Amino acid sequence: MKESIHPTYQQVHVTCTCGNEFITRSTRDSLHVEVCSNCHPFYTGKQKLMDTGGRVERFQRRVAKGRLHAARSAK
């Protein structure tokens, strides 16, 4: 391998939004993640809604609008 063209691979501190912290190796200085193995539904077995950018709220408004339209047309 050529010298001095590869980034340094170092130990970094990873912080999750759930509060979990751990050490791993990366080319970055530090990592901040939204979901880790302690809070991911696949690993925990618990269903949890992860709202990214209001997607759940938009979906619920769209469903409510559809139900309202169906109720009006049924009358």
> Could you tell me the CA-to-CA distances from 63 to 36, 42, 53, 58, 69 in Å, in that order?
30, 26, 18, 9, 10
pLDDT at 1: 67
pLDDT (tens digit per residue) in 9-48: 899 999 998 888 999 999 998 898 888 888 876 666 676 6
What is the DSSP secondary structure assignment for residue 53, as one 8-state letter? Answer: T
Asked if residues 21 and 13 have their Cβ atoms less than 8 Å apart, the reply is yes
pLDDT at 47: 65
Q: Does residue 72 have a pLDDT over 80?
A: yes
What are the chain's domains? Answer: 1-46 (4.10.80.400)
pLDDT at 70: 82
Dist CA 43 CA 38 (whole Å): 7
Three-class SS state of 46: coil
Q: How far out from the chain centre does Cα 6 lie?
A: 30
Three-class SS state of 12: strand
